[in-house]
Amino acid sequence: MRIFVITKRMLIIGAIAAIAVIAAIVIAIAVSDSSATAAAGAAKVEEYELEVLAGTKRELPVYSVAREDKKIALTIDAAWEDDKTEFILETLKKYDIKATFFLCGFWVEKYPDQVKAIHEAGHELGNHTATHPHMSKLSEKEMIKELEDFEKLMEKTIGERTKIFRAPYGEYDDRVITTVRKQGYEVLQWDIDTVDWKEERSAKTILDSVLPKLHPGCIILSHNNGYKIKEYLPVLIETAIKEGYEFVTVSELLLEGETLIDVNGVQKKAG
């Protein structure tokens, strides 16, 4: 009978060997998980690319325009009241600039003379719906009715239809954008917001937040009944002009020819 004597040295060697085996197993598992994660990530990227190529990416309005010159657009939404509209028109005339007014149908009905004055002054008019609803909650048929009811009022008031659209509350989804564009409109948003509908915002606060953000191709949002518009509008315009910016209508700001809208809502030349 053979007797095996296990020495202390043999125990140490055995322990080292066991640790090496366990370490090898752990490394193998880690490498396998890493490969699986990388493969999953690659699959997600591929899936995203396929979705984009297939045209399933989100539909966006134009927030701003990529321009090499320093043209910018002042847009004014008119849905409530009228006490500051005359001042706005006088200010625009004083600085010899053109703006774009997005009007609601009930505002057109209530203030037809102001609509005519805006139009006769050479400013651009846009469709802001007939009743200022949450468009994404409407059916396609109801959305089209909002657009058409507004245009009927415009034809009755100034004898013309509009070509641009801005959604009430700035709310939209793919269905809204697609439906409105099918009706022949370009859909506009903004990338600089005065937030002048908040009574607590002072003219200084508005100017401090807006002026540093000015850039070629930007679209500024104001409201015809903005609380501090009489205080901030002249300063905004004068400062922008001194910095070399040129105010144009939204349609003049938009690029011609083949264009695309990137993931940030910036309209650019295609290719």
Determine the number of helices (DSSP H) and then strands (DSSP E) in the chain.
9, 11
Contact of 42 with 49, CB cutoff 8 Å: no
CA angle 14, 20, 26 (to 5 degrees): 140
The question of whether 134 is a catalytic residue gets the answer no
Strand, coil or helix: what is 99? coil
Tokens of 152: 């009927």
Q: How far is CA 234 from CA 3, 239, 266, in A?
A: 105, 8, 27
Question: Of the candidates 98, 129, 95, which has an alpha carbon nearest to the alpha carbon of residue 247?
Answer: 98
Burial group, residue 161, by CB count within 10 angstroms (0-12, 13-18, 19+): middle
* Residue that has been written with the tokens 């209530």 in this structure: 110
Give me the catalytic one of 77, 123, 132, 191: 77
Q: Does 77 qualify as catalytic in the annotation?
A: yes
Q: Are 191 and 218 in contact (CB under 8 A)?
A: yes
Q: Of residues 123, 128, 132, 223, which has the active-site annotation?
A: 223
Amino acid at 38: A
- Phi, psi (rounded to 5 degrees) for 91: -65, -45
Question: Of 133, 136, 152, 126, whose CA–CA distance to 224 is shortest?
Answer: 126
Active site members: 77, 223
